[in-house]
Amino acid sequence: MKCNPAHSVGALPGGQEEHLDHSQNRNFAVFLTAAMSTETQVDPFAAQRRNMVDWQLRGRGIRDERVLNAMTRVPRHEFVAEELRAQAYDDHPLPIGEEQTVSQPYIVAAMLESLALEPSATVLEIGAGSGYQTAVLAELAQWVFSLERLPGLAESAADRLARLGYRNVTVIVGDGSLGLPEHAPYDAIVVSAAAPKIPRALFDQLREGGRMIIPVGPAYAQELLLVRKQEGRVVSTSLDPCRFVPLVGEQGYPSGW
């Protein structure tokens, strides 16, 4: 909500201040206070979230308004444990249990911006984790299938997403390095864990012209690859260096690092 009382109750030009109807101004002020306190009651983190979007995302070059709006809407604090809520909008990753982490907001934004998602897109996400990025994807796409290998994380992500009202998401327990062939092809694939190389199964499940974003490399030397399928071939661009947990699976690292 935007509220700038100065615009509504400021001085009129030409010395007409004495004609202002002060009773109306009082009503306006009361209305503003009520609206602001409603916002605070509904979401005490709204201001922190707007700051995160302005400073960490816009300030570092994220330009896609759909991504910026989606990240302004999704309540990131709902995806971390109670004791970490105060840090939910800080500029770093956070633990989500079972030795996994939710990525730093900037990384989520950069990955999703690179996919240039259409609202009609069907997306496959590998590594639901807390469900935070799944929620951002659900704001941007028509349907999101999200695979998570750890049943405990998958269950709490699915519960959280349902409680927050996301209806266009399916969270499935399984080895995401093999993808989800039954719903392929996908317009876009987002992999949130690092693979030794681009898993063949995932590339095969991308539609012609589709995009996949995936961190590739060992524990301390990964790069974020944007992969496009053009005439059936891999066209890849390297974005930022990055650091993700391992993609543990048949076409990932079979037993972690």
**Footprint of ligand SAH (CB under 6 A):** 96, 100-103, 126-127, 129-130, 132-133, 147-150, 153, 175-177, 192-193, 245, 247-249, 252
From 23, 37, 103, 255, the catalytic residue: 103
Closest to ligand SAH by CB, 102 vs 110, is 102
Q: 180 with 199: CB under 8 angstroms?
A: no
Whole-angstrom Cα Rg for the chain: 22
To ligand SAH, the closest distance from the beta carbon of 124 in angstroms equals: 11
Closest to ligand SAH by CB, 185 vs 196, is 196
Pairing outcome for strands 94-97 and 100-102: antiparallel
Task: Return the residue matching tokens 């990525």.
Answer: 103
To ligand SAH, the closest distance from the beta carbon of 152 in angstroms equals: 10
To ligand SAH, the closest distance from the beta carbon of 132 in angstroms equals: 4
Q: How far is CA 141 from the centre of its chain?
A: 12
Closest to ligand SAH by CB, 32 vs 172, is 172
Would you give the end-to-end CA distance of the chain in angstroms?
46
Closest to ligand SAH by CB, 174 vs 185, is 174
To ligand SAH, the closest distance from the beta carbon of 232 in angstroms equals: 25
Q: What is the DSSP string of 110-173?
A: HHHHHHT--TT-EEEEE--TTSHHHHHHHHHSSEEEEEES-HHHHHHHHHHHHHTT--SEEEEE
Q: 37 with 30: CB under 8 angstroms?
A: no
To ligand SAH, the closest distance from the beta carbon of 238 in angstroms equals: 20
What is the rounded CA–CA span in Å between residue 80 and residue 87?
Answer: 9
Closest to ligand SAH by CB, 176 vs 210, is 176
Q: Is 103 a catalytic residue?
A: yes
Closest residue by Cα to residue 121 from 109, 146, 138, 99: 138
Element (H, E) at 223: strand 222-230
Residues identified as active-site: 103
